[in-house]
Structure formats: C-alpha cells, structure tokens
Structure 1
Amino acid sequence: MVLMDYKCPNCGGAINFDTSSQRMKCPFCDTEFDMDTLKDYDNILKEDGDGEINWSAPKGKWADGEQDGLNVYVCKSCGGEIVGDDTMGATSCPYCDNPVVMSGKWEKGLRPDLVIPFKFDKKQAKLKFSEYLKGKFLLPKVFKSENHIEEIKGLYVPFWLYDADTDSRIRYDARSVRTWSDSNYSYTETSYYSVTRAGKLGFKAVPADASAKMDDVLMQSIEPYDLREAVDFQTAYLAGFLADKYDVNADEQKDIVNKRINQSVSEIFRNTVRGYSSVSVEQSTINIDNKLTRYALYPVWVLTTRWRDKAYIFAMNGQTGKFVGDLPVDKSLRTALFVGISVVTATILFLILYFVA
C-alpha cells in the first residue's frame, strides 16, 4: 500500500505523513487520520466499481393458425401499423386521425405474453372525456363536438415488462455540524463520515412503452396498471379493439428502464441514511440482472384531434379510468373573453362614478 497516493476523504487533497503527530495529515484542510482508519477506507475503495447490466430477450412465439383473422392496417400519413380483426371496416389512425387501409395479415413479430383486458367500455370512455373538458371555456369547439368524441378508440398499446434483480452498493459523504458558543467565542465542529449502504432489491414488471408513435411521457402519466389483473394473451381479447404492433425492440428501451431502476434503488438506499446535516453520493455501483422480459398489451382509450395542423392526443387508462392530455387555448375566444370582461368592468366603473358624482 502506497500511503502517498491517498486522497483526503474530506476535501480530495493528497495527504502526507506528518512526523510531529505521527499520523497522516491533509495539508489543505488540516484533517488528521490514523493508519487503521486509512486501511479501512482503502478496503472500502477496493470494493467500488462500475455497475454491470445483464439483459434477457423476449421469446413469445405464435402457434399455427393463431393469427388467422387478424389484419394489419397501415397509416400512410405516420406509418403506424394497427392490428384489427376481420370484422373491422374502415377506420382512422389513433395517432394522427388520418384514414388507414388494410395491407395484409398479421404475421411478423413476437406473440404477446400478457394482456390486461379493458374494464371501461366506449360509453364510459366518452363520459370520462366529457368530464375532463368541463369548465374549460377557452377550448376550441372541435374538441367538444359530440361527433368528434364519438371517434374515441380502444387501443391495446404494446409494452415491454422487465423483471430484474439488483445488487447495489452506494457510498455517501456525510457530515454532521454542531455549533455552540460561550461568552467569548462561537464554535463550529464538523464531523466527516463515510457511510456505505449495500443490498439486493428485486423489481417486477418495470414497464416501457414499445410504440415509437405513442409518447412515452403520456404513457407514463396514465400509469400505474395493476398487473395482477393481466391474463395470458389470447387473440379473442382483441375483438372489437385495435392493437398497435411494437416497433421499438426490447433492448432499445434499456436506457429508460435502467434509469427507472437506478432512481428507485438510489431513493430507497438514501432514505436509510439519516441523522446527518448533509449527505452526498460519493460512489454508486448498481448491478442489474434482467431475469425476464415479457411482451404485454395494455388497454388505452385514445382520442386524436387535429387543430391548426397539430395533432393532440388524449389517453385514458382502460383499466383504471385515469385520463391525461394537453389542451390548446383558442386565442380568438380568449380575446373575446378579455374584451367582454373589459367592457363589463368599464361599464360598472362608469356607473359607480356617475352615481357618486
């Protein structure tokens, strides 16, 4: 062990052996360390390292004849591939609201492992959307049209679900500050600690949207789904609904899933470090072992509205009824409302002044 290579755990400066105190001392912050403490710290540093990530691949396969009766509809505007059954007539794209045409049988791709059936029918979805619009006076009229609301569609959105085990170790720089004073001076004492947390956590069904056309933030906003109500996939569940084909592979969502798992592990570990004035992460090693990746279809009621050459997508969780979406403001209505309020205010002010005078 080369002691001259040590850095001060407090300030990061190079520490040297001080002959007068017979201890290691930092010339920058004057902190002193005994040999046993440095040996323990050296052992801690040796355990640090970069996290490892292992990934599995989904394996769903179609049985012979299982895809009979399922057709692929392709949107010529956005390129979306929508799956429907033989009974479906002309329809429109749930993403851009343009007409779609049938192009062939559903043959390519993996077979879904799970599906969460719809719990809200179209009537209930329309009611939820109407309630969502209540009180929004500056909304363009097209959004409130009954004929438009009738176009809401039940869509099974593809998701990848990741089961993963983590083996993690996070080291924190923690400090405790104590202050006091007497009749002559005020004192501040700062104590420095190296705090380590390590452990294993398991994650089940971490979701990631498998559709490039569906906004990830929108899909995360209507979470969570209760996977306890998921059932083994059968094509019968698609009857009367649309289904989007996945066009984002499972390994393409690794960064998103890694970020969600890392954030969860970091929050859980951090919540166990208490009693200090300040805490900061000094080193983090989070190993992720993705044991299982499954392909699932989640129920979503979708309504797309085009206004002034822009598409607005509204989504409702088909299992829980949670509704999200961005709404535009009609500037002409806002101007008219502002003018109306101004006229009323001016009239009231005139009447007050008239009668007072």
Structure 2
Amino acid sequence: MADKVTNYQCPACTGPLHFDSATGKLVCDYCGSAYEVADIEAQYAAKQEKADSAAEADQKKAARRKAAAPVWDEMEAASLTSYTCTTCGAELVCDATTAATNCPYCGNPTVLGGKLSGKLKPEYILPFKLDKNAAIAQLTHYYKGKAFLPKAFKSQNHIAELQGVYVPFWLYDAEADARGSYEGLTTESHREGDYNVTTTQHYDVRREGTAVFTRVPVDGSSKMPNAHMDAIEPFDYSELKPFSTAYLPGFLADRYDEDSNACAERARTRMLNSTTQALHETTHGYSEVNTLHEDINLSKLKVHYALLPVWMLHTRWKDNDFLFAMNGQTGRLIGDLPVDKAKVAAWFAAISLPLMAFLTWLLYL
C-alpha cells in the first residue's frame, strides 16, 4: 500500500528538514545543510503526489463504507484518521483538518496526503518570517508592564510550547459601488439685545464613489477564534508565494473546514463597513450630519485560498483557558491574560487609603 504521508528528509544525511524563516530555505536539523524550496519541492513532488492519491483513494473507500453501513466506529465519530510515520513507523492520529504535523516519537515533520491537494489545494502560502525564538521574545515582551499579571502565570504557561501554524484563510476581492444621501447642519449663535439668536442652515449632502477591495482575509478554520485572527492583521501579501508543501516541514498546518461561501458574509460585512466609513469621512465641515439613505452594492466578488503564518500558544491556568496568537510575518500579537486580584486589591488600597486620610484631614481643618 502506498504511503499516505511524506517526510521531508535531508538528501545528505536523511535527517528531518524544516523551513527556516530567516534564510527562506529548508534546513537539516542534524548536518545543517540548506536547500532551496524549489529543489526540495521538485525532489519530493512525485512522492507527495503518490501520498495525495493514496489518501484520496482511502477517503473514497471510507465514504462508500459509510454509505453502505452508516454505523461509525469510535475513531470515525471523533473525526480522527490514523497515519503511519514513514521514518519510525509510529502511528499518527490526526483530526480531519490537520494537513501537516510532527511525529511525536521521532520528531520528523510530516505532511499528510490528500489534505492540501486537488480542490483542497491552496493557491498561495505566506511563509513564516519570524522564527520560534522571535515569537518567544515577543510574547515575553508582551508580559512586561502588565502590573496585575500573576507571577506564577509567567512560569507555568510553557512559552516554549509555542506552535507555528499555517492557518487557512479565504482572501476576497470585490468592488463596491456606493451612494449616500445626508442632511448637513451648520449652527451659529449670536447675541441680539436680551436674546441669544441661533441660526441653523440645512444642506442636501450627497456622495457617491467606488471602492476596490483586494484580499480581505477571513480565516476558514472553526478552531481559530475570529477575534484573534482579525486582531493580528494585516499581512503583507506582496510576499505571497505559489503554494508548495515544501514550506510546511517544521510547522503545523490545517485545511479549511468552513468553505468560502460560509465565510463570505464576514468579508461582505467588513467591506460594507469600510465603505460606509469612507463615505462618512467625506462629509466633514458640518456641525452635524444625519444619514438619510445609503446604498452600497458589491460586485466582481472573487476568492483566493491561502495558508497564512500564525504562532499559537494555548495554555490552561487555574481551570481557565488562555490563547495567544502572533502574526508569523509581522509579529503583531494578541493574547488573553489573567488578573491577580490580590495585586488589584493592594493597588486600590495603596491609592485609596492615603486619599481617605487626606480627605479626613481636610474635614477637620
């Protein structure tokens, strides 16, 4: 049976390869050899194609079995799939959306067949620009200055367990044709004898224009909190590369589980809000502006599928979950942090007690 996974190994010593964000090359963990992405891609193209074909064939067989006997076993019910590491023979159990992972036994980066091929193949990939050391430094810096952060949290949240993940994103292009009708008011007041006279002028304000949107991102993974993914934008799309699985070794990767149609409404909402804001920004010069009517139509909608780089850390502390996400290209970071209630109480006491003493002293003067 053909292998359904591909381990990218060094041609010189067969050690595991990983994509090095600093050099843009695939580097061997053992002998230090470095290779161009295009060279490794060409060397492993046939093997990856066989892995994709084998995985797709198994998926079709599984679909026929389910149709014939719709009784799921325990693994199917959990949407899990079993693979075999071609390096050490260990069993790799992954969920339905995992496309690249690392073997927990030998550590070899593994690309799973059939997850990023055919209709599931992305058009683009944005390679990691910041490595793990940079991500750890950025997160450590993020903690500084957080006066109410518990000291124990810093030492117990396992920063070294940061994972680089290629997150599936839908990138939407569109054109917005916008028209708006508004009432503009200007108000002037002056004094006439004993009276204060106010003059209000009313203006018919109309605006129209066209806005062009290019690659508005919406993540296509239900695992990723939308607020976190929105917060780490923007990405520099000038560095997008045609998709190649050779960029994946050393990182995790997911395929989408929310298709472009399901995510389109979020993109449309973002475009409509941006266009509305642009219209409003042209109506300055009035004391007050009231919206009478707005009509915005989106057309020429086009969608692209890309994998974008994100450093992720999920940690659990005192029965609460905390998630950190960092843009693997720019370093923009968002994260949840706990608050030490004892520190808050101490700070409040340090401020309020002297203030109360001062007020009491004033009262008895």
TM-score category of the 2 structures, normalised to the smaller one: 0.5 to 0.7
Cα distance in 1 for partners of 2:227, 2:173 equals: 21
Mapped contact 1:170–1:196 kept (Cα < 8 A): yes
- How much has 1:185 moved relative to structure 2? 3.4
What is the identity, as a one-letter code, of the residue corresponding to 2:128?
A: F
- Answer yes or no: is 1:222 the counterpart of 2:237: no
Q: Deviations over 1:34-55 (max 9, x none)?
A: xxxxxxxxxxxxxxxxxxxxxx
> 5+ unaligned residues in a row in structure 2: which ranges?
1-44, 57-78, 83-93, 358-365
Q: Deviations over 1:146-186 (max 9, x none)?
A: 8x222111001111111101111111121222322322533
Cα distance in 2 for partners of 1:316, 1:79 equals: 23
What is the identity, as a one-letter code, of the residue corresponding to 1:204?
A: T
Q: Give the 3-state SS of the residue equivalent to 1:279 in structure 2.
A: strand
What is the identity, as a one-letter code, of the residue corresponding to 1:131?
A: H
Q: Which residue does 1:111 correspond to in 2? A: 121
Aligned partner of 1:141 among 152, 156, 169: 152
- CA distance change for structure 1 residues 279 and 67 in 2, over 3 Å: closer, same or farther? farther
- Answer yes or no: is 1:255 the counterpart of 2:271: no
- How much has 1:140 moved relative to structure 2? 5.5
Mapped contact 2:122–2:306 kept (Cα < 8 A): yes
Aligned partner of 1:82 among 75, 82, 98: 98
Mapped contact 1:74–1:102 kept (Cα < 8 A): no
Q: Which residue does 2:36 correspond to in 1? A: none
- CA distance change for structure 1 residues 156 and 103 in 2, over 3 Å: closer, same or farther? closer
Q: Which residue does 1:242 correspond to in 2? A: 252
- CA distance change for structure 1 residues 180 and 330 in 2, over 3 Å: closer, same or farther? closer
- CA distance change for structure 1 residues 67 and 141 in 2, over 3 Å: closer, same or farther? farther
The alignment-based identity, stated in percent, is: 37
Q: Which residue does 1:273 correspond to in 2? A: 283
Cα distance in 2 for partners of 1:191, 1:182 equals: 19
TM-score w.r.t. the length of structure 1 is 0.65
Q: Deviations over 1:77-104 (max 9, x none)?
A: x96732216xx2129xxxxxxxxx9997
Cα distance in 1 for partners of 2:305, 2:111 equals: 24
- How much has 1:322 moved relative to structure 2? 1.5
Cα distance in 1 for partners of 2:126, 2:282 equals: 36
Mapped contact 1:80–1:213 kept (Cα < 8 A): no
- CA distance change for structure 1 residues 315 and 67 in 2, over 3 Å: closer, same or farther? farther
Question: Which deviates more, 182-191 or 197-206?
Answer: 182-191
- CA distance change for structure 1 residues 274 and 322 in 2, over 3 Å: closer, same or farther? closer
> 5+ unaligned residues in a row in structure 1: which ranges?
1-62, 92-100, 350-357
Q: Give the 3-state SS of the residue equivalent to 1:274 in structure 2.
A: coil
Cα distance in 1 for partners of 2:343, 2:50 equals: 52
- CA distance change for structure 1 residues 264 and 102 in 2, over 3 Å: closer, same or farther? closer
Mapped contact 2:99–2:112 kept (Cα < 8 A): no
Q: Give the 3-state SS of the residue equivalent to 1:172 in structure 2.
A: strand
Cα distance in 2 for partners of 1:171, 1:240 equals: 54
* Matched positions, count: 268
- How much has 1:274 moved relative to structure 2? 2.5
- CA distance change for structure 1 residues 338 and 179 in 2, over 3 Å: closer, same or farther? closer
- CA distance change for structure 1 residues 67 and 129 in 2, over 3 Å: closer, same or farther? farther
- Answer yes or no: is 1:160 the counterpart of 2:176: no
Question: Which deviates more, 272-281 or 212-221?
Answer: 272-281
Aligned counterparts, 1:54-69, within 5 A = 66=48
Mapped contact 2:185–2:200 kept (Cα < 8 A): yes
TM-score w.r.t. the length of structure 2 is 0.64
| RMSD of Structure 2 on Structure 1 (CA) | 3.6
Cα distance in 2 for partners of 1:234, 1:153 equals: 20
Mapped contact 2:111–2:249 kept (Cα < 8 A): no
- How much has 1:316 moved relative to structure 2? 1.1
Mapped contact 1:174–1:279 kept (Cα < 8 A): yes
Q: Which residue does 2:296 correspond to in 1? A: 286
Aligned partner of 2:211 among 178, 192, 201: 201
Question: Which deviates more, 253-262 or 280-289?
Answer: 253-262
Larger Rg: 1
- CA distance change for structure 1 residues 178 and 75 in 2, over 3 Å: closer, same or farther? farther
Cα distance in 1 for partners of 2:242, 2:118 equals: 20
Q: Give the 3-state SS of the residue equivalent to 1:195 in structure 2.
A: strand
Q: Deviations over 1:106-157 (max 9, x none)?
A: 26852111111101111221222222223446426254248x2221110011
Aligned counterparts, 1:86-101, within 5 A = 88-90=102-104
- How much has 1:208 moved relative to structure 2? 0.8
- CA distance change for structure 1 residues 68 and 134 in 2, over 3 Å: closer, same or farther? farther
Cα distance in 2 for partners of 1:129, 1:83 equals: 26
Q: Deviations over 1:174-227 (max 9, x none)?
A: 122232232253322222222111111111111111111111111111111111
Q: Which residue does 1:329 correspond to in 2? A: 339
